[in-house]
Every structure is written in C-alpha cells, then in structure tokens.
Structure 1
Amino acid sequence: MRPFEYARVTDVAGAVGQPGRFLAGGTTLIDLMKLDVERPAHVTDISALPLTDLVEHHGGVRIGALATMAQVAEHVLITSRYPALSNALLAGASQQIRNMASMGGNVMQRTRCPYFRDTAFQACNKREPGSGCGAIQGHHRKQAILGTSEACIALHASDASVALVAYDAVLTLQGPDGEREVALRDFNLLPGDTPHLEHDLREGELITALTLPAPIAGHGVYLKVRDRESYEFALSSCAAVLDVQDGVVRAARVALGGVGTKPWRSPEAEAALTGQPATRETFEAAAHAALAGAEPLPQNAFKVPLTARVIVRALLAAQAGESADGKGIA
C-alpha cells in the first residue's frame, strides 16, 4: 500500500469537495489499495457522518448511504416491502462483511475481473486506459455477456444493485455545486470505449442516500446461481417483481446480475410480460427478450441458457409468492 494523506470528517459539508477517495466501510477500497490498483493520494474517512437512517419517505423508503448491508437486509421496511433487496443483500458476501460494508459503497463496488485486480496483467483498459482488455482473449468464464464492448467485458459484481435497479432506486448526490438525484440504472455507465469511467459521479461528490419509491403490487424475489453455495459472486442472478391479477401480468420488474457490465434492468423482458398471461410460456418469451442482445464469448456462452432458466425460475417464484433459492435450476 502506498503512502496517502488521511482526514476524518464528521459532517457532510466537510466531506463534499474533498479530493481522492471516500472511506466508509472500506471493504472494497482497502482491498484495492493493498493490491496497488487504487492509489489515492488522499483518503477522507466519512464513517462518522450521520447517514445511517432508514425511514419511510413519500410511500417508499430512504436509506442513508452509510447504512450497512446487514442493517438494511434485516430492517422490517425492507423485508416487508422490498424482499428481493433483502434477499440480494443476504446473498452477498459474508455476515462480517455485511456488518461493515455501506450501501453507498456497495453501489460503487468495482469489478472482480482478475485482469483489473492483478497489476501483473498489463492489459486492462479499466485500470490503464488504452492498454487493451486481457479478458477478451484470456480467461473470461465469469465475465459479462450484456453491455460489453471491444474495450471491456468486465462484470459488475454487486448483488444489491441488481435488486435496487429493479425497485427503481434513486441516488442522492451532494457536491460542491449542490444536491442532485440520479437513477441508479443511469448512475452506472456502460464501458463503451471509456471503461475507466464507471459512474456518473462528479469530482468531490458524495452519495448521501438511496431512495426506493413505493413498490409495485406483487411479490419480489432475488435468485442467485453461483459456483458454490456461499461467499461467491453470481454466475447469473435475477431480481423479479410481478403484479399478477386474474392470471394476467399487470406490471413487472426484471433486473439481471452476473451477466452485465452494470446492474442490468431489462425493459425488453418487462414489455414481453406486461399484459400477457402469467404462464411459463410467457416467462420463457420474456427471458428470450432479455437475452436477445447478449454477446457471449466461448467460455461464458453457457450464461445465455443458464440465465434464461434463472429468469423463468425467478418469475415463477414471484408469481407464486415464494422465495427462490437457486436449487433445482433446469
């Protein structure tokens, strides 16, 4: 780890405009500093800021950016109204990490691509713009199949962000020029030819809150499929919310993880569901629509049929008002 200046602030005004990186739970930043991937000259500790509340807000919920993953996963407002988010948080990381990691830090989570995290690999456009993408010609089994470009196929790893996107989460950002709001689905940027630009976050801005509007009627689930049962990132996941009345889908939300370069909301799947009978055939058509734009490579081509099955399984569970544990995917 390289030397850096450290400052600790106790109010938002003191944090806004600070150079370098903000330190909250540190579960991502400290790892990347140890790996010499992140090299901030200045680190501002914001862990003492009063941004941990979780309260009702205009029919929805407002979550302070420093609320922990564990706190949010277990809160009655989340478990009762946004169960897919609770499930996604509990499916991510270990209990120890969930006790430390902040919600604001989680949505800023960086890729787990080994070509990004290991500086011995010289080719990584996300870490060193213009150096190439080692994963495209190298090991890419766990990389993205949606939203990729010739410059980057790195996977976005957050579980929580998938559910947050499904629930139309909005971020509140405080910066030197004041406060603004950005939908999470727009906050994470596609790699294009600038994969090093990951977020719509301006210099000196701080995430202060995440707001969830009132959810649509119906049940929500988060289904995650991975190589092992615990402490593992998704090969494919789906957050699904269905409002079914008289056997017809009145409204739907579908977001995917483990397959996109950002948390992947699928308006195509939602359009294929809305107004249609709530049947397996409709769900399979929605899965096909969600994956029509997939661009897999040889090692991760299996994610296309796998994700189709994950989507159908999640939608069936949402229709039935059940949880989805990922077992028996077929």
Structure 2
Amino acid sequence: MNSKTSMQDIADLLGISKNAVSLALNHKAGVSDELRTRVFEAAQQLKYRTETRAMKKQNHLLVLFPEYIQNDKNLYYDVFWSIEKRAKENGYSAIISGVTKEMERLHLLPYLYHEMSFGGVLIVGIFHPDYVGKLKMLGAPIVTVDHCYDSLKLDAVVTANAEEAYKMASYLIRKGHRQIGFIGASVMTKSFRERWFGFENAMSDAGLAVDRRYCLLGSKPSEAQDDAADELASFLETLSIDAMPSAWFCANDRLAIALIQHLTARGLRVPEDISVVGFDDIEAAQLVMPRLTTIHVQREQLGHEAVDLLIRRIDKGGGPSKISVYGELIERDSCFKI
C-alpha cells in the first residue's frame, strides 16, 4: 500500500486536472461517467488511499445494497439493524452504503471503499452477477445476504425458500384445498423460483396436479412493484369468478395483499370464497383485512448469521458455504378450511 500516492499522481497518469480527479472520487457532478470509471481504475492501479484509509486499519464491515431496496425498507430494516448490532457485539462497525443502478452498470464502488479500510463485505439484496464478480476480484471476504449467485462461489446466508414454501403449500392441502394457484414471477428472482419449486413439490407429493391456469409465473424479469401489480390485474381479468381455485399461494406478502384487494373489488370474500396466503411476514400482513397467513422470514437471524460467517472468514479463511435459515408459518385469518 502506497500512502504517498496523491490525487495529482492519478491526474498525471490520466492527463487530466487534479480537480477532475477529486470530483470523480467524491461522486460529484462535473465529470462524465466514462472518466469517473477511468479515475477509479487508475486509483486502484496506483493503490491510492486517502489519509483516512492510510491510518491504522479499523474493524469495519462494508454493507452494500442496491437502490431498489430503498422501496423495501419494511422488509430489510430488521436485516440492517441486526447486522449493525451483531457487528458491534464483535468489535466491528457496519458501514452501510447504497449502490445506484449507474454505479452498478459502471462497476463503481462507493467512495467509502476508497476512504476506509474494510475487513470484509456484506451484500444485501440482488446485484447483477457481473458487479458482484468485480467485488470478488478485489480479494476481500464477501458474504451475500438473502440471495446467492449460482455463477459465483461465495459465502451466502439465505432463507430456506423451497422448504418454507413446501410447508405453506402442505398447510393449504391439510386445510382441504385441492385446486391451488401460485402467484409470483419465478423469472424475477431466485427466491421466487425456489418458492415455486417448493410449492410444486408439495403438490406432487400430495398427488395433486398443478393447474397452470391458476398460476402467474411472470413473462419477463422485473424489479418494479408496479409492473408486478399490473401483471396481476391483467392475469385476474382472464379468469371468471366461477373459474378460480379455492386458494392462492403468493410468493410474497405484497402480491398477496394486492390479490386480496383485487378479489374483494370483484365481490369475492377472503377467505370464505377464496383463501390467500403469502410469504415474508411484512408489517402490512397484520394490518390488511383479513390478516394474512404467511411465512415469517427470520430477518434478524439472517443478519446475525451473515456477520458471524463473515468474521469467521476474516479471522480464519476457508472455503465458501451456504447457510439456509428456516422461517415460521404464521396462521392468521386469510385461509379457510374446506
């Protein structure tokens, strides 16, 4: 590490002004995205570190999350809170930083990475695999939280999605339901695909066929909640009131709540006419009427396990592993026994 490298050195290497280097490194306006990328690459090449980073190494963990999570604060708040708490208990501080779509596209790291020393990185949520691959090349221990990347061998702490979906589908079957639909774009995320597989397996083990007319699996990948809501509305318009299943399993609570609202608007009663269950147990699941039966995701445990695993890798090294955290079925009012 060369603590004497300066912004002027970077400027001289690239043939630009020192001011342009400063703007780029501090993510300020005034330089193009292309130039910003070149500045960061040059800084990495020259092993540039500010005076803060050149100081004695601190016990910091960098926590990165994509900007779309800002719309999912209810789901991820407990994860971030538990990460901060667990890190502090182990003598570390968790530094949380968002990554915009533009930064992800250009493979840019938050400026904090260049300002501080980090023992390891926690990745919460879903990034493009290429961006995560770029992070992996930096050599610091990495643990992904609530998602794993099939193409990358990284430590991961995830929810046992398939197992918990199997549990929920079996619950519906025990309630007497035989025609059960599935709502959730399996092309959207790995977790949705796993929940679909769990649902399918439970139906198969019970000797029941899955009727695809009652299943909305999505036509294209999308992170936008509005797109999912529009697709759900269009899907329901294709079904007449007398041609619906007795129950629907939704891949997350937001879809389940939207489904309840659509069914109610069409004059159907939940759960008397159609049962609806979800997954995640967000706060709104207890506020909607009827209150939603769902799978509670152990968000605090996800954070604790992720920090513990990352610290083990920092201290002892070792090969990558995947930890699955089981959830809990929360029975409320949205499911009717036939």
TM range (shorter): under 0.3
- Give the TM-score, by structure 1 length: 0.27
Structure with max Cα Rg: 2
Instruction: Return the structure number with greater strand share.
Output: 1
Instruction: Return the structure number with greater helix share.
Output: 2
